[in-house]
């Protein structure tokens, strides 16, 4: 009940504000004021794009800021604040032509409080700020091993530079084929120097960008309000200036059951994701959408750039016993073959998601062909165990699988535990809190663990980076500490390859190598689930589960 009262408190705050706002205008009625309401179930730490590390932060800053380029719904690159761009023949210099009709939101830090015109110099400032150690942005990785340096610790003055107000250049140390994809990440959004330097760390609560909405108020952990940017630079195909909405209201309620109830009461316009209790209300047991629910609400279900997996830690230097079964390829393959993923997705997840029988890269990213993974084959698993020296699993020590307690992670591990017990493999389930699990995986202390990889950008390289030997944890995302010189060479060659067909063939080869050597057990490929009120249109889901509200219409 306390959480419901928090929601209604936030609703009263926003209606009070909008009532005052609208009462000052003629020919307007409060009933015609279009506010998009959604809930964020965990608090937002910052509205500074330099710290947009979690989905809640990303969704919020998407409304306030823009970057040089953006993604369309098919995850293709589109111009944004850059009208166009060129890439040098050697693949190391990117030149962007900046739009001349973009203004930052009105702010007291600008002359007369009016939004200043955007220039190429703003990108120089914004990008250098990201790589500045004093900023301590978790997004420094998007540039720090890519842009031009004088030496290992010093960036070149020309890694980012402006020829004039309209031309912005980026120089790389060496070609990096997914670089435009990297620039779609919110860390690369542009910010104004005057406002950031005035507020410093408090820019997190005083954001000023170029986006479709501008910041109005924030009562942390209760309510966050954005209002329409009437000077936004984008127009629709009919020449109408975006956005269509008048404002955005974000509430903060941690209980998803309460949020689902408020959605059904039409007090929230949109929900992303479902918990166990509400899933059966929306979906039939076969994963199809229930007719009763779909008659009242719109439901979107599409593939998601999120692969759920179990990982094996393969760094031999962290093992006291060099004969540990996890280091035995045939044991890892046996564990892969003896897991019925289709049954797991059906019974545990109500067929939300696809069984992980291919590679780590979601198949739709490779488009042309799917990597061969592991199907359910108990006989093959038993044969592999015998070849590994464990006939009928005799002599195989008990394995420990570490995971989180929350649904469905623990339940998935328990399902796998039951499956493996059918052929005599004993597995203990260890549940840890998130920080402890993450820290011990990073240090190499945990040998068998549940994890997931949600794509930061839509190039398959994002998934293959998990297996590049120079990315070993804790300094990179290679949690399994997988090492294969053939893989590394393919990975490095692909980064400098401009031919798309060759690149994607290399991704296929790399992912196939990973599957053969089994540093992971791919569990399933997740799906984006979104619920919308019937009066909401133009909010189309994409595989990144992005939330961009500039085109949304509320009738």
The confidence score (pLDDT) of residue 278 equals 86
What's the start-to-end Cα distance of the chain, in Å? 30
| Nearest in space to 350 (alpha carbons), one of 417, 408, 429 | 408
3-state secondary structure of 341: helix
> Domain check: are 340 and 470 in the same one?
yes
The answer to whether position 286 is within a domain reads: no
> Domain check: are 331 and 478 in the same one?
yes
The confidence score (pLDDT) of residue 6 equals 53
> Domain check: are 329 and 470 in the same one?
yes
> Domain check: are 188 and 333 in the same one?
no
> Domain check: are 317 and 197 in the same one?
no
> Domain check: are 364 and 510 in the same one?
yes
Q: Which of 203, 234, 258 is the last residue of a domain?
A: 203
Among positive and negative, which fits the CA dihedral 189, 194, 200, 206?
Answer: negative
What is the DSSP code (8-state) at residue 163?
S
Cα–Cα dist 555/538, whole Å: 11
Q: Which domain holds residue 98?
A: 66-203
Q: Tell me: the pLDDT tens digits for 60-83?
A: 999 999 999 999 988 999 999 999
Structure tokens at 322: 């060099």
The answer to whether position 254 is within a domain reads: no
Q: Which long-range contacts (CB under 8 A, 24 or more apart) does 84-92 make?
A: 85/180, 90/175, 91/172, 91/174, 91/175, 91/176, 91/177, 91/496, 91/498, 92/148, 92/171, 92/172, 92/173, 92/174, 92/175
Q: Tell me: the pLDDT tens digits for 347-399?
A: 999 899 999 999 999 988 887 688 999 999 999 999 999 999 999 999 999 99
- The domain total for the chain is 2
The answer to whether position 193 is within a domain reads: yes
Q: Which residue has the tokens 């150690």?
A: 133
Contact 547, 238 (CB under 8 A): no
- CATH number for the domain spanning 104: value is 3.90.76.10
Pairing relation of β-strands 69-71 and 35-39? unpaired
3-state secondary structure of 370: coil
The answer to whether position 504 is within a domain reads: yes
Q: Which of 177, 203, 229 is the last residue of a domain?
A: 203
3-state secondary structure of 426: coil
Q: Which residue has the tokens 């007369």?
A: 112
Cβ neighbours, 10 Å, residue 514: 25
The confidence score (pLDDT) of residue 303 equals 94
The answer to whether position 278 is within a domain reads: no
Q: Which residue has the tokens 């038993």?
A: 382
> Domain check: are 458 and 310 in the same one?
yes
| Nearest in space to 195 (alpha carbons), one of 85, 275, 115, 278 | 115
> Domain check: are 505 and 363 in the same one?
yes
| Nearest in space to 344 (alpha carbons), one of 271, 417, 395 | 417
- CATH number for the domain spanning 350: value is 3.10.105.10
> Domain check: are 360 and 509 in the same one?
yes
The answer to whether position 262 is within a domain reads: no
Contact 354, 341 (CB under 8 A): no
The answer to whether position 263 is within a domain reads: no
The answer to whether position 33 is within a domain reads: no
| Residues above pLDDT 70, as percent of the chain | 94
Burial tier of 363 (Cβ tally within 10 Å: 0-12, 13-18, 19+): middle
> Domain check: are 197 and 313 in the same one?
no
Burial tier of 319 (Cβ tally within 10 Å: 0-12, 13-18, 19+): middle
> Domain check: are 326 and 180 in the same one?
no
Q: What is the DSSP code string of 376-407?
A: --HHHHHHHHHHTT-GGGTTPPPEEEEE-SST
Q: Which of 203, 227, 251 is the last residue of a domain?
A: 203
pTM: 0.90
Cα–Cα dist 501/488, whole Å: 19
Q: Tell me: the pLDDT tens digits for 466-519?
A: 999 999 999 899 999 999 999 999 999 999 998 989 999 999 999 999 999 999
Q: Tell me: the pLDDT tens digits for 410-461?
A: 999 999 999 999 999 999 999 999 999 999 999 999 999 999 999 999 899 9
């Amino acid at each position: 009940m306390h959480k419901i009262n928090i929601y209604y408190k936030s609703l009263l705050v926003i209606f009070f504000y909008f009532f005052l706002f609208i009462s000052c205008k003629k020919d307007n009625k409060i009933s015609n004021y279009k506010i998009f309401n959604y809930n964020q179930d965990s608090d937002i730490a910052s509205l500074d794009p330099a710290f947009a590390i979690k989905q809640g932060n990303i969704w919020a800053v998407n409304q306030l800021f823009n970057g040089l380029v953006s993604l369309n719904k098919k995850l293709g690159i589109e111009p944004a604040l850059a009208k166009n761009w060129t890439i040098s023949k050697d693949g190391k210099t990117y030149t962007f032509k900046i739009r001349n009709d973009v203004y930052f939101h009105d702010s007291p830090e600008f002359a007369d409080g009016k939004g200043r015109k955007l220039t190429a110099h703003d990108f120089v400032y914004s990008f250098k700020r990201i790589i500045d150690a004093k900023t301590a942005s978790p997004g420094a990785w998007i540039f720090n091993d890519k842009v031009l340096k004088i030496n290992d610790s010093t960036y070149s003055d020309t890694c980012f530079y402006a020829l004039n107000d309209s031309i912005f250049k980026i120089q790389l140390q060496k070609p990096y084929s997914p670089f435009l994809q990297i620039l779609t990440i919110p860390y690369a959004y542009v910010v104004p120097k005057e406002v950031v330097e005035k507020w410093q760390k408090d820019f997190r609560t005083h954001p000023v960008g170029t986006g479709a909405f501008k910041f109005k108020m924030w009562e942390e952990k209760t309510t966050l309000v954005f209002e329409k940017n009437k000077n936004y630079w984008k127009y629709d195909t009919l020449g109408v200036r975006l956005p269509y909405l008048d404002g955005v209201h974000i509430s903060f309620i941690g209980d998803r059951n309460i949020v689902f109830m408020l959605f059904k009461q039409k007090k929230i316009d949109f929900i992303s994701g479902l918990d166990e209790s509400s899933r059966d209300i929306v979906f039939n047991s076969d994963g199809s959408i229930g007719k009763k629910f779909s008659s009242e609400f719109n439901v979107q279900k599409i593939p998601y750039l999120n692969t759920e997996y179990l990982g094996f830690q393969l760094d031999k230097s962290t093992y006291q016993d060099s004969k540990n079964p996890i280091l035995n390829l045939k044991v890892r393959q046996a564990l892969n073959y003896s897991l019925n993923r289709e049954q797991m997705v059906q019974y545990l997840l109500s067929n939300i998601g696809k069984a992980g029988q291919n590679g780590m890269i979601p198949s739709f990213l490779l488009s042309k062909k799917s990597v061969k993974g592991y199907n359910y084959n108990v006989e093959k698993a038993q044969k592999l165990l015998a070849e590994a020296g464990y006939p009928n699993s005799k002599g195989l020590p008990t394995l420990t699988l570490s995971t989180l307690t929350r649904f469905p992670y623990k339940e998935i591990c328990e399902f796998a535990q039951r499956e493996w017990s059918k052929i005599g493999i004993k597995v203990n389930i260890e549940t840890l809190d998130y920080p402890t699990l993450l820290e011990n995986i990073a240090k190499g202390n945990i040998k068998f663990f549940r994890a997931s990889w949600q794509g930061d950008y839509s190039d398959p390289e994002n998934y293959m980076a998990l297996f590049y030997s120079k990315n070993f944890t804790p300094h990179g995302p290679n949690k399994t500490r997988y090492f294969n010189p053939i893989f590394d060479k393919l990975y490095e060659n692909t980064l400098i390859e401009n031919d798309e067909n060759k690149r994607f063939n290399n991704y296929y080869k790399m992912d196939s190598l990973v599957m053969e050597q089994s540093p992971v057990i791919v569990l399933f490929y997740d799906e984006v689930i979104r619920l919308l009120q019937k009066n909401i249109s133009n909010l189309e889901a994409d595989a990144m589960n992005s939330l961009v509200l500039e085109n949304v219409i509320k009738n």
